Amino acid sequence: MKQYEIVDTPIDINKYHSYTVNEVQGAVCMFTGHVREWTKGTRTVHLEYEAYKPMAESKMAQIGDEIAQRWPGVITTIAHRVGKLEISDIAVVIVTSAPHRKDSYQANEYAIERIKEVVPIWKKEVWEDGEEWMGHQRQYHSSVEEE
Amino acid sequence: MDIMVFAGLKEKIGGTHVTLDIKNEPTVKELKETVYRQYPALEGDVFQVACNESFVKDTHILSKTDEVALIPPVSGG
């Protein structure tokens, strides 16, 4: 595994969890994002994710660096799956470990918010009667403009 | 100039790359204008430009050797 990676096979969360554990980390927070069947009354049949892989991995590493600056001592690892995903499959795993729990929780939420802003990954929802590439739920974060 | 495209842009264009007829070292703004002129199907679609895997502003100058990509609004997670 890589610390920050795009994968095209099912995500084995245990190896990412283990990656963040060492003798100084007393708290590990793991978030998994799953394919949801129902969104505001519309039934999803499956999802397709696509990534600009090298840039996505470097942006996820950038998020890890941002976390290390804001919460020194936090270890982060992120994996996002691409391709066709079925209901309840894991699309993303984020693990943040820290000496104490508060930092691990805060860093973990920061990571998912930033993924939705700056990592070039796209989701297509496929319904029974159509499909659409998503991407307008959040638009671009101001920090994208500042790079 | 060869540019990578993704997701909805890729489906509209019908390929993973667009080849733009554009002068040497265009700005990002000039590149965007050329994309919309050569691919009218993209009218109304918004995207950012990435150069060598970083987002760049409209004033950034692109070179022939750069890896350039059109990045529609992202929806990971």
For residue A58, being part of any structural domain is answered with yes
A130 contact B CB<8A = no
Say yes or no for a CB contact (<8 Å) between B48 and A54.
no
Which pLDDT score, from 0 to 100, does residue A135 have?
85
pLDDT at B24 over 70: yes
Instruction: Give A147→chain B minimum CA distance, Å.
Output: 6
CB-closest option in B7, B56, B73 to A136: B73
Tell me which residues of chain A have a pLDDT lower than 50: 137-139, 141-143, 145-147
CA A22, CA A55: separation in Å to the nearest integer? Answer: 29
Considering chain B, what is the average pLDDT of its residues?
Answer: 95
Residue range B22-31: mean pLDDT, rounded: 95
For residue A88, being part of any structural domain is answered with yes
- What is the pTM for the complete model shown? 0.93
Which pLDDT score, from 0 to 100, does residue A136 have?
59
* Residue span of the structural domain in which A77 resides: 4-34+45-123
Surface of B (15-74) touching A: CB under 8 A: 48, 50, 53-57, 69, 71-74
CATH of the domain at A11: 3.90.1170.40
For residue A136, being part of any structural domain is answered with no
Judged on CB neighbours under 10 Å (0-12, 13-18, 19+), A14 is exposed
Overall domain count for chain A? 1
By CA distance, what is B71's nearest residue in A?
A120
For residue A110, being part of any structural domain is answered with yes
ipTM: 0.95
By CA distance, what is B8's nearest residue in A?
A133
Which pLDDT score, from 0 to 100, does residue A141 have?
44
Would you say A91 and A50 are in contact if contact means Cβ atoms under 8 Å apart? no
For residue A17, being part of any structural domain is answered with yes
